[in-house]
């Protein structure tokens, strides 16, 4: 596989190898970060930072343990989670301007931006599990391995995330 062959060159600091890895993984990483942040600019900045970080930390990559794409994906999840925790953008207290009518809100709900707004209100730990499971169709086992938590915790976070999202849907539809 292309990425496996590139891993050695990447570890030794080859920029060409970094580019190959970037081309192979960019779409997945960007989409993950976008889904977690709900903001295009944030997603672009974080994606940039993730690859810089991956390059800086390349000595820590162990090719026997996982594919380089999995390693970068794991790094992306953790990096984005940390960024979200720092910004505390997921606050449940956040509300949309009251002047908007219910019809307008419902219309907006079909809009990606408003979905992103809802996402911002979700707890980042629940959100990442929800995205990996329901959007990216990953197994519980894969999620647990990537996040370094137990399968039970993954299940619990997904359930709690769905409950929180359901509550947010209700709150918005009441307006």
Largest CA distance in the chain: 57
In angstroms, the CA 51 to CA 46 distance is 9
Between 21 and 150, CB nearer to another protein: 21
Here the tokens at position 78 are 């953790």
User: Is 100 a binder of another protein (CB under 8 A)?
Assistant: no
User: Is 47 a binder of another protein (CB under 8 A)?
Assistant: yes
User: Is 40 a binder of another protein (CB under 8 A)?
Assistant: yes
User: Is 48 a binder of another protein (CB under 8 A)?
Assistant: yes
Q: Single out the residue of 68, 99, 95 nearest to residue 3, CA to CA.
A: 68
In angstroms, the CA 125 to CA 158 distance is 9
User: Is 164 a binder of another protein (CB under 8 A)?
Assistant: no
User: Is 112 a binder of another protein (CB under 8 A)?
Assistant: yes
- Are 32 and 136 in contact by the 8 Å Cβ rule? The answer is yes
Q: Give ∠ CA 19-38-169 in degrees, rounded to 5.
A: 150
User: Is 18 a binder of another protein (CB under 8 A)?
Assistant: yes
Residues making contact with another protein (CB under 8 A): 11-13, 15, 18-19, 22-23, 26-27, 30-31, 34-35, 40, 44, 47-48, 51-52, 55-56, 58-59, 106, 109-110, 112, 115, 118-119, 131, 134-135, 162, 165-166, 169
């Amino acid at each position: 596989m292309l990425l496996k062959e590139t891993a050695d060159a990447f570890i030794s600091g080859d920029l060409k190898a970094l580019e190959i890895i970037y081309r192979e993984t960019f779409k997945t990483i960007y989409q993950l970060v976008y889904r977690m942040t709900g903001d295009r600019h944030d997603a672009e900045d974080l994606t940039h930072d993730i690859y810089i970080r991956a390059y800086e930390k390349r000595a820590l990559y162990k090719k026997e343990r996982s594919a380089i794409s999995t390693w970068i994906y794991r790094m992306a999840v953790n990096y984005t989670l940390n960024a979200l925790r720092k910004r505390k953008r997921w606050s449940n207290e956040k509300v949309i301007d009251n002047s908007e009518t219910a019809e307008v809100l419902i219309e907006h709900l079909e809009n990606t931006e408003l979905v992103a707004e809802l996402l911002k209100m979700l707890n980042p730990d629940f959100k990442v599990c929800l995205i990996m499971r329901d959007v990216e169709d990953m197994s519980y086992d894969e999620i647990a391995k990537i996040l370094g938590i137990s399968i039970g915790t993954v299940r619990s976070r997904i359930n709690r995330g769905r409950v929180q999202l359901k509550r947010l849907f209700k709150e918005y539809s009441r307006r």
